[in-house]
Structure 1
């Protein structure tokens, strides 16, 4: 039975990627005075975009860190019902080691969100159809939030104009999960002859709290006692006030991409014996690291050269077509981030695909910097400014979804039976023994001493409340005497 998702109570970023709103920025704020902050955030909450329709002009979404929830004061200090990883935060020392945020990537070196920088309590996500409309929207929200006290700006994170490319020059956003009950899923299912197979659609509870997940269970979420919501702002569940329903967790990480270093390494690794450059070999090695060609064509279906006709191709597995990694290397980025049908204990089976559905994330990131608009590999950036990705994903279980992918698949040097070979693009580099292996016959090719191409500049875990929960959190009247 398909879950009926309450689109009018979920924030729009869950249902839509805002592809028509090509300009965006993220404002990270700190609470300085709770009562004034609640009043200001209440005004902003009235402008938050829901999931019922694609906004044609602009969109606003709002999320809070654990310290932000504590700062507003409507819930218990220990945040009962929220996930442990959200409560302890991304910069918890044990979590940093688990995620690989150590050495130069350690939070102590971050530009924002780390222990040496001002705390982040609120994230305001602003989207608009163009830069002019974004500037007006931002000015209006700043007047509402910052001019009246209670909140201060920690950092403003700008984005590049949205394209279908990420800064390394590859098409991005192709392999997104279809989420039960969301508008895009309904359209895709209707468009497919005979409907979508069961394995195509992921349960809504993997991304939204209050709905069954892939285990057929409800993920833990914060439920208050009914007296804590005397105004009846929250939905009721078994006599309690459901603060979590229609909410999600946001993982936000600012990832700097060393675009020039990436293409320089590839150029050096693929030079001919006489020292001359081999652009075709360079681009092919880049594609093998990614698992797709720059157009988006997957190596599984286009192993030898790019085929733009396959740019949208996402209908493939690995077990039957390429079990040994001769087309798409076993350690390629997309093969790690989404292993499809190659997971134990029964690779190639429906059980393998079902296991993968328990580790999906809904990506909503935006690129930044001059390289973000590059339409070909290695294209010149122009002014030398930094480029990268504001990685933003939604999940209901941070530990089982984002953290599992990051630790067990991307950063794992023994993924798929490999050795000393974490993800060639995004895994941290703390020594010079990292390799990338191209499987082949009769011999494999190993690329040694991969440098670091991606580094973490900041990050945090946020709770993205449902709209009723957001109104409750921002209510000026004390709830249950807890404020």
Structure 2
């Protein structure tokens, strides 16, 4: 049987792979630990989110222009969470070791230069607090007072039962979306005051290939649009990746077809999430800016505050599309880092055309290590103190080692990245290593001293299943046609 294309399976893919829900400006993230003996109650509560059609699909996202989505939910599980709910991997097709061992384990802590024993939460036993079993991400359309008063129905309440779960709630930063000078509409800004959510890869076959919106995106990016188009298997399990290979799909016992057909794969249409709760020290960054100036802060980040590249030669303060702002290359425009320093945060996480023997080989290589970011800024109220702010970071990727961990080890935290010497990432590096930051050609000097601008409060790896697999986990045994027939067709 001929393999199907990803574009034909959108009903079975959770919507967050298709969109960051930029029009839903209120978000919340629930980190849930299932209490002993309450597994059935946990399944029932999670199944209720599915039954209410809050777990939207990528097909729903594609239709959202004509049929707007006002509420959306995504559900993902840690390895321990899947085991807690009775999902046992098969010996022939187990889950990959980064996911099964967990981000908070000692080995991964060593690889990622982390300190998980200091975290508030993780995905492993023996860490800070109980291990998180379930991640529920929630997005809602922000309503003004008039809309709230006139609304015939309130949005459904999603609060999990504290008798069933130990709960950590990470709330939206209500100031994350702002309309600043030069912006035509509200845009997402992180807590240090920089545009967020730029430079996202485009998953081939997942975005609609026709329509005025995509035509405009292509036109704005011009010849560089292809730089960001990535094979679907880099983010969605079971499809061809940038190596032109089908991405490995784990399987679990009792998944339909498992006993008879080796082609059946439970993880088809899913992805892995690398999740980290990162607190930002806004006061420390403000003090740094007061000492060195706004231009140096932009050098540290690697972009201007409005999202434009540092090498932008257009009209200052001009309003341009996000696609146009992302249409640039480092080797071509700024090989020596006079505009955007080689060690800048943005340049480390996406080197673009920098690291290969030539432009095209560099771009091809970088496509093997892209991340699809779906996090949001958060705000935590603290009694008798200033609220704490940060990023609830979520990265979708099909290969945790080759994507998230490679970027974190080889680019972000590599002291010799791009031939630098003993320099950590200026934003997420630790105080004992992030001591200086080189800025070639800067009039005020080549290096500045850095502070500890961020700290990690928690982290974990989660599996975001396809919708059919999600129903299976939650006890909905009548797997849909999308789930059962598609599994066999895609793998053959």
SS at the partner of 2:264? strand
1:146 is matched with 161
Structure 2 equivalent of residue 158 of structure 1? 171
Once the two structures are TM-superposed, the CA of residue 181 in structure 1 deviates from its matched residue by 1.3
Residue 358 of structure 1 is matched in structure 2 by 368
- Relative to 1, partners in 2 of residues 1:441 and 1:112: Cα closer, same or farther, differing over 3 Å? closer
Q: State whether residues 178 and 185 of structure 1, in contact with CA within 8 Å, keep that contact through their aligned partners in structure 2.
A: no
Deviation at residue 476 of structure 1 after TM alignment: 6.2
CA deviation profile, 1:358-416 (whole Å, cap 9, x unmatched): 11100111101289xxxxxxxxxx97211111011111011111111111111111111
Assess, with a 3 A threshold, how the Cα gap between structure 1 residues 306 and 390 changes in structure 2: closer, same or farther: farther
1:41 offset after TM fit, Å?
A: 2.6
User: Which residues in structure 2 correspond to 1:60-459 (within 5 Å)?
Assistant: 60-76=73-89, 80-101=93-114, 106-113=115-122, 115-130=127-142, 137=155, 139=157, 141-142=158-159, 146=161, 151-161=164-174, 162-163=176-177, 164-183=188-207, 189-191=214-216, 192-193=218-219, 198-224=226-252, 228-230=254-256, 239-268=262-291, 270=292, 282-302=293-313, 307-310=317-320, 312=322, 313-344=325-356, 346-348=357-359, 350-369=360-379, 384-431=386-433, 434-440=435-441, 445-448=446-449, 450-459=450-459
Matched residue, 1:15: 18
Q: Which stretches of structure 1, 4 residues or more, deviate above 6 A after TM superposition?
A: 476-479
Deviation at 1:137, TM superposition (A): 4.7
In structure 2, runs of 5+ residues without a counterpart are 178-187, 480-492
**Cα deviation, residue 310, structure 1:** 5.0
Task: Kindly indicate whether the alpha-carbon contact (under 8 Å) linking 2:237 and 2:270 is maintained by their aligned counterparts in 1.
Answer: yes
Alignment match, 2:463: 463
Compared with structure 1, are the counterparts of its residues 117 and 185 closer, same or farther at alpha carbon in structure 2 (3 Å cutoff)? farther
Instruction: Give the conservation status (yes or no) of the 8 Å contact 1:293–1:306.
Output: no
Using the size of structure 2 for normalisation, the TM-score is 0.81
RMSD: 3.1
Which deviates more, 421-430 or 245-254? 421-430
Secondary structure in 2 matching 1:369: strand
* Cα shift at 1:3: 4.8
Aligned to 1:275: none
Q: Report which stretch shifted further, 107-116 or 305-314.
A: 305-314
Separation in 1, partners of 2:478, 2:319: 58
Higher mean alpha-carbon deviation, 439-448 vs 414-423, is at: 439-448
Aligned length: 437
1:214-239 CA-to-partner distances (Å, cap 9, x unmatched) read 101122221357xx235x7x9x9964
Give ranges in structure 1 of 5+ residues lacking alignment.
271-281, 372-381
Note closer, same or farther for the CA distance 1:174–1:66 as it changes in structure 2 (3 Å cut): same
Question: Residues 242 and 29 of structure 1: is their aligned pair in 2 closer, same or farther, counting only changes over 3 Å?
Answer: same
CA distance in structure 1 between the aligned counterparts of 2:442 and 2:142, rounded to whole angstroms: 50
Does the 8 Å contact 2:255/2:266 carry over to 1?
no
Any conservation in 2 of the 1:178–1:184 contact (CA below 8 Å)?
no
For the pair 1:42 / 2:47, whether they are aligned, the reply is yes
**Contact 2:6-2:206 at 8 Å conserved across structures:** no
Q: Which moved more, 1:43-52 or 1:59-68?
A: 43-52
Query: What whole-Å deviation, never above 9, does each CA across 1:235-260 have from its counterpart, x for those lacking one?
Result: x9964432111101111111000011
Q: Provide the C-alpha distance between the structure 2 equivalents of 1:154 and 1:441, rounded to a whole number of angstroms.
A: 48
CA offset at residue 261 of structure 1? 0.2
Question: What TM-score comes out, normalization by structure 1 length?
Answer: 0.82
**Separation in 1 of the partners of 2:56 and 2:319?**
36
Task: Check the 8 A contact 1:359/1:402 in 2, yes or no.
Answer: yes
In the TM superposition, what is the alpha-carbon distance from 1:332 to its structure 2 partner? 1.0
